[in-house]
Amino acid sequence: MMTCKKIALLTGFVTTVLVSHAQLQGGKKNIEKLCGCFDIQFKYAETFSPDNQYKFHERENLNGMELVIPVETSDKKIVLQHLLVINDSTIIKHWREDWVFEQPGLLVYEGNKQWTKKILPAQDVANSWVQTVWETDDAPRYQGISQWVNTDGKTFWQSTVNAPLPRREYSTRNDYNILKRGNRILVTDSGWVHDQDNQKLLRTGDSYQLLAEEKGVNDYHRINIQYCEKAKQWWDANHFFWNMVRREWDNYINTHNSVVLQGTIDKKRLSDYFADLAKEWNEKKLTREALGIKLKIIIQQFNSK
């Protein structure tokens, strides 16, 4: 006989399954909408500081064009690669983002190029998508977790997470060491918007000092795919090398509890070493096995003190 308690438990189970399925399938559809060829406007402005003597940095207002393509897809994971289109002959590998459904842990940024693994409770992971943003050399940047939300005619995903200084600032200033990113990804009829409410923090030990707050809006407006054809051709010619880089990074992160990156070795950045290795590979001076070994050694060297 079906009791009221059993009916309630069954109803709760069915509801849980339906919510999970909706988040999985709906999330995948939303993430797929982040792909395409885009004309982008990048806007940033510092808005507030608790220090009355703080000198606000100039606003940034830049334009660019970018191809975003899926380079790995499975039932619960989508990997998107961003490629900057400078002109007909110049393509730059930009950042990468991984989306994983119900990923059980995060790499938490501690500052000073150090990330530590954190296992999350099951209830915090349920029905949620983790977005991982990676550097141009596929080193980690930050990870955030949230469900996709549909409300008031809007579809968005949002999280707040500590991250390194953005590329637009880490080579020009050192007065803060953590960017607390308030990320909101809003899907629109014409593309999508990366809306940001950021805090620039100086971490000393366990204490945090707010330097300034910042508003950022990156507006991705979808355009005809033909404008990004050169980027697609570039990826077709270079994807194997970068797939190998991604594989070796995954191997390292999966077998270590933390990542502690050096900025340079012998005055060269990690991206410089990869550029040299890519040249060797393209000139057919390396076997696949030799490439994997060299990538593994370089990543290990940049993670050793």
> What's the chain's average pLDDT?
93
pLDDT of the residue at 163: 97
Q: What is the mean pLDDT of residues 207-223?
A: 97
* pTM, rounded to two decimals: 0.91
> Above 90 in pLDDT, residue 150?
yes
Q: pLDDT class for 287, splitting at 50, 70, 90?
A: very high
pLDDT of residue 101: 98
pLDDT for res 15: 43
The CATH topology of domain 4-224 is: Lipocalin (2.40.128)
Domain boundaries, the chain: 4-224
Report the pLDDT averaged over residues 236-253. 97
Structure token pair of residue 171: 């080579």
Output the DSSP codes for 95-154. EEEEEEET-SEEEEEEETTEEEEEEPPHHHHTT-EEEEEE-TTS-EEEEEEE-EEEETTE
Q: What are phi and psi of 59, to 5 degrees?
A: -65, 150
For 109-128, the pLDDT digits (tens) are 999 999 999 999 999 999 99
pLDDT of residue 53: 96
User: What is the total residue count of the chain?
Assistant: 305
Using alpha carbons only, what angle is made at residue 262 by residues 261 and 264, rounded to the nearest 5 degrees?
140
CA angle (45, 50, 55) in 5-degree steps = 50
Bridge partners of 51, per DSSP, are: none
The mean per-residue pLDDT over the stretch 73-80 comes to 96
> Are the beta carbons of 98 and 132 closer than 8 angstroms?
yes
